[in-house]
């Protein structure tokens, strides 16, 4: 990437193939100089203005002292915030990037699978049973969404549109049509109103371990947990304890503290836990590249952008 007034961009994506993303960004920004940094830093270590990353390493940032902004190919930035980064470096998260619709689909699937007892019917048929269970009324399953950011709002609105009673909790006051909104110090009241709890929070020092025995015990009896955020939100031993006691009816988890889980992890064989391998919402290339390219153009012209991470908040 020779010195130029055009944007100089580098990709650091050690765990995925960065070439399709780099090729797409090159089409969106034909004037830009674009390179790819390898795990060893041998592909391209020329100083760049902007970085696009997925699971970047400290070594990458140490080799890029000139960066003005780094774009994370995902909604969560907790992995970035664990690294030692200059205070002047702007961190930019993907704002949806096609993930909102996927996340809402995942949650509604998990919700309906439980409320309609499809999970029970699956177990029955596998055991050779052919029987019907009583119909469930959606009014008996008030749904609460922890976190009303870009993704959480879409989840809450989609569930509301299915006819469920929906509430949401966030640290700061929000208002959403048809959704009861709780904030900050109203967490206990919020949890007590829920029979289905959906976690869509960012992972921060304040939210780690928030799905613990104390909080989950506040849910209505026979409650159901859906976690599409981060594995570190959940105290896994507490979930098992509440499932064994019967206070929780089950859980659908897209994230775990260790991914993939070890072969002897109790969640893998638990009859009332459904697991998926962190696929509730995958970053889509086209909308994400469109968003990143527009923001790079704006930053390169000294214009303000949205999606900037506030480090003190963790998102």
In a domain, 204, yes or no: yes
In a domain, 42, yes or no: yes
The predicted pLDDT at position 115 comes to: 97
Same domain, 105 and 136: yes
Same domain, 86 and 116: no
The predicted pLDDT at position 1 comes to: 40
Same domain, 61 and 147: no
Going by C-alpha positions, the residue among 41, 75, 24, 8 that lies closest to residue 314 is: 75
Structure tokens at 216: 């989950």
Question: Active-site residue 311, yes or no?
Answer: no
Domain assignment of residue 39, given as a range: 8-97+283-300
Same domain, 178 and 44: no
Same domain, 270 and 138: yes
Three-state secondary structure of the chain: CCCCCCCEEEEECCCCCCHHHHHHHHHHCCCCEEEEECCCCCCCCCCCCEEEECCCCHHHHHCCCCCCEEEECCCCCHHHHCCCCCCCCEEEECCCCCHHHHHHHHHHHHHHHHHCCHHHHHHHHHCCCCCCCCCCCHHHCCEEEECCCHHHHHHHHHHHHCCCCEEEEECCCCCECCEEEEEHHHHHHHHHCCCEEEECCCCCCCCCCCECHHHHCCCCCCEEEEECCCHHHECHHHHHHHHHHCCEEEEEECCCCCCCCCCCCHHHHCCCEEECCCCCCCCCHHHHHHHHHHHHHHHHCCCCCCCECCCCCCC
**Cβ neighbours for 186, distance < 8 A, ≥ 6 positions apart:** 169
In a domain, 39, yes or no: yes
The predicted pLDDT at position 41 comes to: 47
Same domain, 112 and 259: yes
CA distance 200 to 311: 19
In a domain, 312, yes or no: no
CA distance 272 to 205: 29
In a domain, 249, yes or no: yes
Count how many residues are written for the chain. 315
Same domain, 148 and 259: yes
CA distance 103 to 100: 5
In a domain, 181, yes or no: yes
Question: Active-site residue 230, yes or no?
Answer: yes
Same domain, 183 and 58: no
Beta carbons of 243 and 273 less than 8 angstroms apart: yes
Residue of 247, 270, 278, 311 marked active site: 278
User: CA end-to-end span of the chain, whole Å?
Assistant: 31
The predicted pLDDT at position 258 comes to: 96
Beta carbons of 142 and 164 less than 8 angstroms apart: yes
Beta carbons of 162 and 187 less than 8 angstroms apart: no
CA distance 312 to 81: 10
How many beta carbons lie within 10 A of that of residue 132, not counting itself? 8
In a domain, 3, yes or no: no
Q: What is the CATH number of the domain that holds 198?
A: 3.40.50.720
Same domain, 258 and 289: no
The predicted pLDDT at position 3 comes to: 42
Beta carbons of 88 and 273 less than 8 angstroms apart: no
Same domain, 150 and 134: yes
In a domain, 2, yes or no: no
pLDDT along the chain (315 residues), means of 10: 72 92 97 84 70 93 95 86 93 89 97 96 94 92 96 97 97 92 95 98 94 98 97 98 98 97 97 96 93 96 93 83
The predicted pLDDT at position 44 comes to: 52
| CA-CA-CA-CA dihedral for 30, 88, 202, 166, to nearest 10 | -80
Domain count for the chain: 2
The predicted pLDDT at position 303 comes to: 96
Q: Which residue reads 């130029």 in tokens?
A: 4
pTM, two decimal places: 0.89
Residue of 93, 160, 230, 300 marked active site: 230
Same domain, 107 and 89: no
Same domain, 19 and 118: no
């Amino acid at each position: 990437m020779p010195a130029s007034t055009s944007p100089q961009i580098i990709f650091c994506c050690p765990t995925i193939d960065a070439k399709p993303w780099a090729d797409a960004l090159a089409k969106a920004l034909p004037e830009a100089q674009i390179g790819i940094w390898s795990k060893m830093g041998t592909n391209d270590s020329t100083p760049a203005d902007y970085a696009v990353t997925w699971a970047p390493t400290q070594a990458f940032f140490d080799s890029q002292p000139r960066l003005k902004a780094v774009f994370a190919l995902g909604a969560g930035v907790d992995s970035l915030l664990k690294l030692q980064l200059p205070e002047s470096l702007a961190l930019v998260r993907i704002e949806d990037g096609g993930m909102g619709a996927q996340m809402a689909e995942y949650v509604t699937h998990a919700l309906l699978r439980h409320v309609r007892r499809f999970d029970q019917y699956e177990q029955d048929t596998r055991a050779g049973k052919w029987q019907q269970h009583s119909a469930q009324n959606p009014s008996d399953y008030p749904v609460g969404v922890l976190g009303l950011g870009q993704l959480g709002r879409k989840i809450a609105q989609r569930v509301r549109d299915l006819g469920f009673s929906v509430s949401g909790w966030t640290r700061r006051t929000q208002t959403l049509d048809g959704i009861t909104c709780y904030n900050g110090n109203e967490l206990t009241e919020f949890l007590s109103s829920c029979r289905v709890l959906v976690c869509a929070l960012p992972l921060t020092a304040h939210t780690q371990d928030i799905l613990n025995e104390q909080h989950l015990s506040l849910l209505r009896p026979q409650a159901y947990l859906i976690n599409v955020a981060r594995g570190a939100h959940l105290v896994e031993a507490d979930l098992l304890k509440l499932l064994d006691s019967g206070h929780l009816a089950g859980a659908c988890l897209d994230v775990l503290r260790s991914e993939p889980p070890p072969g002897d992890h109790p969640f893998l064989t638990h009859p009332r836990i459904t697991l998926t391998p962190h696929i509730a919402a995958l970053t889509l290339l086209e909308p994400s590249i469109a968003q990143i390219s527009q923001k790079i153009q704006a930053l390169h012209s000294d214009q303000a952008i949205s999606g900037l991470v506030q480090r003190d908040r963790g998102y």
